[in-house]
Structures are given as structure tokens and as C-alpha cells.
Structure 1
């Protein structure tokens, strides 16, 4: 069970990488620019592929009139089929032996009529068999009998589901207008569900389909897994029940892609010094028959600030969509907890209000912590390699960064794994350039599931108007970084050998729990503990020589060593007694092979270690 959980954590990265390459927008950081820019805000959507209302002949009905429904209480209403690959759909209940065994992973079905039966594809057995045996999967369950849709151009297909996402599994609903001879309008209804979502999704899906008044219409559910990877293929399960086909409602606005944040980045903890205006945007689609007027997004802060903001009312034709941008941003007044609720305003009464209900945004303004994650750990980045993970942060006021906080996840090597934290600035070409690195921290028992604070030897000055990357990393296998919430493309990153680009920066859509810490006391405590402050060597990487600057509070015996990854001491120097103050030494790298080295300096009882990279 522990092993299964471990590779679940690992595969979260694999799904991120898959998404990057399928969208053809993955890139090493060197090709991107990340300066603060309003270009991160959502643009007006171009809703293609849907006919406009004036091109349709629609027989108007009362809101959501049911044309056909089924609860899987009679299996003869369905046909189970596939293309002969691994696995098959089944119709059963939560008492089925397979469900009883495997719902420890994804939980029992909780649909309205689950006791009468539901359809499911269970992918767990192929992963947990000994040995695992995963092959590509393509199986479906379709309506046994076609229905006549004369008079209807579009319909709403809805069903209750339970689903937990893995890596390669796709959960597809398709329609046939010719009694199952051909299938069109394929929709992956869970494409936005993150890998290893816990708990599993238990909800009702409403999906619009074009049926063009066809007389032999069928729908089907199709499970697809193209991977034969015994660890990362297959999936958990997809359960469906209580299927309903209905007319379009007269009036219905469907809200999606809610955005809240500042210049494209959203935060859940904000230091008071970095307060900036917060914007709100949503995509609104007219999923009904009638044109909708006066459609607007309203954002209300309910914590006592009195803020209420609305977007300019829009007219949205049937089948069209538009972005609604609240006109006045919200700027917190100071420290405290803020709760923002959202609502769609409309001149008409919405027939299906459930599809425009949006979760609120709660965040805290405090003294020192800057956090992009939502604080609710939902998995880990834990690849079987050394790597770094971090988030972008915009700086609005000049401030000294004293530390970086990270929450380690399950699977962490707690037996002295060497880890570090770094802050990167971004050059004019969009490259991440190392600005500062903390001393090494060796993990210890109890770190998994806990927040660890890394302290810079000297405060790092961050400049207003710039964007920085805060990251945590390790030099060896065994690190696990918790993730909490989601990130837009190109705002959270991983560094390592994680894709076809080799060792490089890749973006991730899960948010690492890596935070900036501006607590000035961290710097005070660090200076009290150590007589020795050593800066990162410059340049780094280097080819011929590099310089290390250090400061002594008191005169001390100083020595240093340079050690390679194999533990061999390449250089050992005793500087003797050195006076208090600032000093510099030069390391000759002309005879060093390419690779990673550890620079260890000792002054009296104080010691610090930095990583150096030789690259000729």
C-alpha cells in the first residue's frame, strides 16, 4: 500500500509532463518571459464549434424537460462493448466484490440510485496485480436503443459520477446520430480533474450535445487508456449513474474558469508589505435557448470591508460565451482574513443555477508569509531523482527575503537527505538566474508532512516590480514536496530530468507548497548562531575560476575543502587565523572535471556548505 501511494505521488509529475507536451506549450524557462504583465489576465473567449442561436430551429420547452432517463436498474437497456483490449465495463452495486475490494482507493458510489445499480470501469486490479499487468484499454457502454430527437437541435446529457484521476485515463462521453454506426462529439468530461484527486470527484455532469434533430440518437460512456506502462497506465475507476437527456433550458448561464489574483498570480497568504489590487474574471457561456441580457460577475468581500465589485453587464447570444471582468479590483486594507463570494447576475431567472455557482476565495494578509498554495495538501511531487520545485512571486515593494518555507510530503527520505532552498531572479531573456541559496538542510524524522523553514545566511534584497522564483531542491533521490491547489501554465515549476527536454525547467499545474518568508527575526537568529556568513560562489557554474566571499564576526581559524559527488576531497586549504571582516578566496577550476562539487568552509565552531558547478 505504501509503495502504491509512492508511485501515485511520482506519477503526478508524469501527468503534468504529458499535459505539457500534448499542448505543445512546454518549454525550458529560457524561452519564456515572466515579468509582471497584465497579459496573464484572461482574454475574451472565441467559442467555436457551437452554432449560434439564429442558425438553429429550436422547439422551445419548459426548463430541462426530460426526454429520456435511466438508472441502470435494468441492464438490458445498455450494451457493454469495446475493441477487444484490456478490461470491460460492468453494471453492479457497491456490494460487488470488485468494488468492495477496490473502493479503498476511490470510495463507494454515492449517486441517488446507487442501490439500484450503476455502471463502472475498474482499472485498479491491473495496477495492483502481482506483478502489475497493464495493457491499453478502450471499452464502452452504450444505450441499447436509439431515441428520436426530431425537433431538437441541442440537448443536455447529464449523469451522476464518481471519478478519481490517474495518468493516462480518459473519461469520454460520445453521441451517435445514426444508431451507433459512427460516433461524434467526443467530450472528455473530467479533463480538468487533477491526478490523484483526493477525495474522488462525486458530482453531476451536465454536457451539451448537438443532435441535429436526428431520429436515431445514442449516447455512450467510453473509458480509454492508451498506456501499457505497468506503473503509470490504467487508472482508478469511473462510475456513472442516473443518466438523463433533456431539452435545453430557456435561460441558463454556465460559468467556468473563475480567476482571482494579481497580474495572473493568485495567493492564499500575502504579507502586508506586498498587498496589491486583486482582480476577478470568469467565462460565462449561454447554455440556454434564449439570448441573455444583463449578464455580469459580482464579487463581494463578506468579511466587513464593504467591497462589492461587478463587471459591465453583457448580452450573450444563445451558444456564445464571453469573459466577465470585474471593473474595480479589491485591495485589502491590512492584516486579516478576507472572504470573497461570487455570483452571476442576469436579467432572466436562471433555470439551472447549479452550473454557475462558484467556490469562494479565502485568503489571509499577515506579517511575513507569501504563499501561492491553498494550504490543503493533496499529494506530492516525489520523482525518483534529484529535482527542484517552486513558484513565481511578484514583488510590489522592496523587501528583504530572509527564508523559504516548504512542506515536505509523504515519501520523503527522512534519514539526512541534503536539501536546500533558492531564490532566482529572471533576466531579460526570461532565464532563471540564481540569486541566493540557503545552507544545506539535512532532513530528519518527522519532516514528512511538516513545514521546514530554510534561512538565508544574509537577507536577500528583492526589488519592487520584479518577479522571482522561490524553490526547494535536493542533490539526491528522496525528496517529496507537498502540493496544494492548482497553478496556471508557466507559474509553478520543476527542474530536473523530467521530460524529453532532458534536465531543464518544466511548468507544473499543481502548486508546490513552497513559500517566501520575510520574517526579519530569521536573519537575526541566523547571525546569532553563526560567526560565519558565506556567499554563493560567483560565477556559478564556472569553467576556469570562481570567487567565494565570506564574512567573520570575530577572528577565527578558517579552513575549507572541495569535495566531489563521490565523496573525494579534491582540495583542502587551511587559511590559519583570519581577522574579523569581509574576505574573498578564489577557487581554480582549470583542472576540475565537469560536475557538481561541495564547498565546505569552517570558521571556529561554525560550518557552511555550498554547491558549486563546473561546466566547461
Structure 2
């Protein structure tokens, strides 16, 4: 246990837990622009738009008559067939994954921009005659856009019908961030009202205003008829998490442990992208549960005006106490026949585990290093967890990226809602076999000397910690997090404000003691059985407290289902009991222990390490 741990635990004696899931709000991590690799953009197949194009610009050979209008500074739009210029950034901007790769338009702020200098530039089309087109129109385009600093970057789409004297325009891409952006992203804007003033004299404008951000790439700009009937499922949320209202309650977990299952209020963000009002708009979510059962959730029955966007909740849902994967199929319907059904559906998933609790998506996408201002100093990364039932934390799991040097020491930590350190695991020396490349899913389990009691109604921060030094440590990330959920910690930050939130999800998980299960009400056990140590190398002690005398049998199974240990303990009296399980001859891996109390069975996981 290091000096920092001792000092912080001493400080904790003067503080208590918050009796709710509210935690201290922390600022965003002030990352350097070129600090830390991004989550790889989501590469999407290009889509062939449907319907007649009344204007089309693929930028195959040059800007083809489009005008570049400089506003502020010297940074301007240009034609490219290769993408952004090279930078020293480890967070590179990729080329637009366009379906017409012979050329596209780009404003390359990352490569050509100046730190701290604002730039404004517009890309303006030639005059377009739409007098023969229908009244209901949209402009479609492919883009790649990632955002370094909101609100320091703005992207606008506009229309003029008076030769550029005045413009109607709409702000797009607000708050999209820089992680996991789609490439390409198909965008569309309703321009019907703007064109109506003078359809024979239409110009399009794409305006970029930023202070040294990443830039914007565009291709395949087309004007098409706006469908009369087009409802879209823009996004789907599995919980109603809202930090401003309820703190970290109702966070969206990728894996729930059995003891922390809670009601999930799901909702879909729906938008009327058509020209006419849509009636009877509803969303249906079908939850496919382990074992084949389905639960159908419904919401809506609403009328949407053209362009209206509304978050629509579905029927509340609480997962059953069944371990496994849960898949979600979401579909939007309305009374009218939808002309673009491809944007009516989405899928999602989550898992229920015996003891694992996670935010991450399970496979390494990127990693987090110390910022350049903290090289060589100790730092940690982790996630917050909110409890709906009392539990015990027995370990922390973390995935490490292969930028890390083998032999580096790390540990797991747990903090209370005031970000006060409660306990730290034993140190662990990272092995080369424990490192992950992108796509990897190897986790290291860090165990506490004794289980840490956690209490319902409280939130905790579970972290992986590096003690500092010359080594490079890359904590793996997978997926994205809402603000205030995933945290980076710099204990030696001279500013004193050393907890920051990040939107990349650290692959740091909480491992709880096994749950009691549904038989707790039968009055056999006073508390959850506990196998300790877990992971084990030589032996583990299964301890439990009986409320009445009962015949007891203990079994241990390999993942193959093979019974590797069995012991009939006879008729044991009420009170504290324990049984030692020898694992010295077992191979490394996961096992399931079973405590059989006169036919009622309680299960848990045991990890064996070598």
C-alpha cells in the first residue's frame, strides 16, 4: 500500500457517503488536440440514394464551378483525391470513405489550420435551376466530420435564391464529438421553404467556422424530392440516464450483474424527415431474452409535424434474473406508408452476468495514455457504478493495450461518491501475454485483500491505477460514454482539480461477490456465499452463513460442464460455515461453484490463475 493510499484513506475518515446516486461533477479532460488515439471511425458502406436527382455534384475531377469564399483567416476549401494532409497527430482524420473516390471537397483545418486562430470559409455552388423540380426538396450529401472542441466549431448548410445577397441556413453536427464517427455519414436537410422564393436561382452553401479544429469533408451533394412520408429512428437509448436530473442513476451498462438488475426505461429518438405530418407514430422494441423468450415493449401513437424530433419512451422493462445476452430489435411505424423504410429500424444489446459489471463494449478499440503535461506521473482511468442493492466488491478487471511495457505495476481502486479513496487492490505486474491489440478482449483481474462493502443508493468509482515512472501504460478503451460516467484521475495535478470525465469508455470493470439469488426468501442463507480468494491459485474458501440446519453439498464445474470437485458436508448446523476447495491441480480458467442446500442450489464464478 503506497503513501498516497494511506493519506487518502486517512482523509476519508472525516467524510461519509452520499445517500443518493449524486456524485461530484467533474470537468472534461483538457486533452491536447493531438493527444491520444481516437476510436476508429465507424466505416459504413456507401449507399446509393433512391429517387431522381435534380442536381448532383460528385466532385470527380475538381470543384466543378463551385466557389470558395474566404471569411476569416487564410484557411479555405479545396478539392482532394487523397484526403487530409499528414500531421504529427496520433488522432488522425481519415479520408472520406466516399462511393466516388476520384475526388471530393475538403477544408483541412487539422493540417493547414493555425493553433488558436479562427477560420471561416464557405463552399458555394453555381446557380441551380430547380423550376422543373417538385416543391418538396432536400439536399443530401456524404460527409466525414469529427469535432475537437464544441462550441469552437460550427458547420452550416444554407440556401440563397437572390444571388448570395442573403442566406437561409441551418447549423448541423453540433456536439458530435470525435470518437467513433461514421465514415461516410449520409446527411440530408429539408430546403423546400428556402427554394420556394425563387426555384430558378438556387445556390447551396457549406460554411465552416472554427478555431483550429479537424475540418470537414464533403461529397456526392444532391438535391432530391423530399418524401411525403418518412419517419426515422435517429437513435435509441436503453435507459433514461440524465446526470443533471438524477446524477449517475440509470447509467447505461453493457453488462449488469444479477444483484444490480433494475428497471430500464428505454426510448427512441424519432424524427419526421418527410414533407407531410405523420400520424399514429409508434416505436416497438422486442427484447429477445436468454432461453428464447420475447418481451414486446411499445410507445407512441403520436402525430409528428414535418421536421419534428421527439424522444418517445417504450413500456418499462426489468430483465429477469437470467444470465446471458439480451438483444433488442427496434422498429418505428406510422399510419402512413413509409417511403424510406431503411431508417425505421435499429438493434442493440446488453448482458446479464453473475458477478461482472461493465460499461465497455468488450473489444479493444483504442487506449488512453497520460496527457503530455503528466508524463511519468501516476494516473488512473475508470467508470462510475450506481447500486440498487447492497453488494461486495471483490475485484477490478482491466484491459491493457499493447503500447504498454510488460513489467509495469498497476492496481485497482475504489472511490466513494465524493471521489475519496476507499481501498486499493494488491499490485499486479503486467505480463506480455496480458496485452491487447485492437480487437483484443483479455482482462486482468485485480483482487482486494478483503471484500469491500457497497451500499444501495450510493455511487462508486472503480479505477485502474498506474503508479508513475518511465514506463508507458495504455489503458484500453471500448465504446463511448456519456459525460460524467468515465473518469481519468491525475493525483499529482498541480491545479488540484484532478478528476476529469472522458467520452471514451475505459475497459475497467467491477467484479462483485456472487449474488444470493431467488432462493434468499426461503430463509436458508443470511448473506451471499463468497469464494475467496477469487481468482485463486492454490485453494479458495467458500464461506456462507446458514439460518437453519440443512444438508450441504459443494460442487465445482469447469466451463465444459465437467465436475472437477465435489464434497458432501453432511447436515450442518445454523451459523457461519466454510469449505476449502483445492484448485492447485486445475488449469487456468473460469469455473462455476455450486452450493447445494437440501436441493436448493446457489452458484457463483471462480477464476483460477496460473
For residue 298 of structure 2, what is the aligned residue in structure 1?
310
The verdict on how the C-alpha distance between 1:415 and 1:225 changes in structure 2, with shifts beyond 3 A counting, is farther
The verdict on how the C-alpha distance between 1:136 and 1:290 changes in structure 2, with shifts beyond 3 A counting, is closer
Matches within 5 A, 1:560-579: none
TM-superposed CA distance for 1:410, in Å, is 5.2
Deviations 1:538-566 (Å, cap 9, x if unpaired)?
xxxxxxxxxxxxxxxxxxxxxxxxxxxxx
- DSSP 3-state at the match of 1:72: coil
For residue 208 of structure 1, what is the aligned residue in structure 2?
190
- Whether the aligned pair in 1 keeps the contact of 2:324 and 2:351 (CA below 8 Å) is yes
The verdict on how the C-alpha distance between 1:176 and 1:316 changes in structure 2, with shifts beyond 3 A counting, is closer
Matches within 5 A, 1:297-446: 297-303=283-289, 304-358=292-346, 360-384=347-371, 385=374, 386-409=378-401, 411-416=403-408, 418-426=409-417, 431-445=418-432
For residue 90 of structure 1, what is the aligned residue in structure 2?
78
- Whether the aligned pair in 2 keeps the contact of 1:86 and 1:135 (CA below 8 Å) is no
For residue 71 of structure 1, what is the aligned residue in structure 2?
58
| Correspondent of 1:516 among 485, 503, 510 | 510
For residue 455 of structure 1, what is the aligned residue in structure 2?
447
1:239 is aligned to 2:220 = no
Matches within 5 A, 1:183-332: 183-189=167-173, 191-195=175-179, 197=180, 201-209=183-191, 211=194, 213-215=196-198, 216-227=201-212, 234-235=213-214, 238-261=216-239, 264-303=250-289, 304-332=292-320
The TM-score normalised by the length of structure 2 is 0.64
Aligned residues: 453
Supply the RMSD in Å over aligned alpha carbons.
Answer: 4.0
TM-superposed CA distance for 1:243, in Å, is 0.8
Aligned mates of 1:378, 1:396 — CA distance in 2:
30
The verdict on how the C-alpha distance between 1:212 and 1:125 changes in structure 2, with shifts beyond 3 A counting, is closer
More helix by share: 1
TM-superposed CA distance for 1:142, in Å, is 1.6
- DSSP 3-state at the match of 2:351: strand
- DSSP 3-state at the match of 1:261: coil
- Whether the aligned pair in 1 keeps the contact of 2:56 and 2:223 (CA below 8 Å) is yes
| Correspondent of 1:490 among 484, 494, 499 | 484
- DSSP 3-state at the match of 1:354: helix
The verdict on how the C-alpha distance between 1:503 and 1:317 changes in structure 2, with shifts beyond 3 A counting, is same
The TM-score normalised by the length of structure 1 is 0.64
TM-superposed CA distance for 1:409, in Å, is 3.2
Aligned mates of 1:66, 1:321 — CA distance in 2:
26
Aligned mates of 1:91, 1:219 — CA distance in 2:
17
Matches within 5 A, 1:543-558: none
- DSSP 3-state at the match of 2:263: coil
Deviations 1:175-202 (Å, cap 9, x if unpaired)?
143433344534233742534x38x622
- Whether the aligned pair in 2 keeps the contact of 1:137 and 1:224 (CA below 8 Å) is yes
Aligned mates of 2:204, 2:496 — CA distance in 1:
43
Aligned mates of 1:179, 1:252 — CA distance in 2:
32
- Whether the aligned pair in 2 keeps the contact of 1:285 and 1:319 (CA below 8 Å) is yes
Aligned mates of 1:133, 1:324 — CA distance in 2:
42
TM-superposed CA distance for 1:90, in Å, is 2.5
Deviations 1:3-27 (Å, cap 9, x if unpaired)?
xxxxxxxxxxxxxxxxxxxxxxxxx
TM-superposed CA distance for 1:259, in Å, is 0.7
- Whether the aligned pair in 2 keeps the contact of 1:114 and 1:241 (CA below 8 Å) is no
For residue 581 of structure 2, what is the aligned residue in structure 1?
none
- Whether the aligned pair in 2 keeps the contact of 1:496 and 1:505 (CA below 8 Å) is yes
Aligned mates of 2:166, 2:402 — CA distance in 1:
46
Aligned mates of 2:303, 2:164 — CA distance in 1:
38
- DSSP 3-state at the match of 2:69: strand
TM-superposed CA distance for 1:265, in Å, is 1.2
Aligned mates of 1:285, 1:486 — CA distance in 2:
23
- Whether the aligned pair in 1 keeps the contact of 2:384 and 2:462 (CA below 8 Å) is yes
- DSSP 3-state at the match of 2:370: coil
Aligned mates of 1:317, 1:249 — CA distance in 2:
14
- Whether the aligned pair in 1 keeps the contact of 2:486 and 2:504 (CA below 8 Å) is yes
- DSSP 3-state at the match of 2:259: helix
The verdict on how the C-alpha distance between 1:370 and 1:165 changes in structure 2, with shifts beyond 3 A counting, is same
The verdict on how the C-alpha distance between 1:75 and 1:317 changes in structure 2, with shifts beyond 3 A counting, is closer
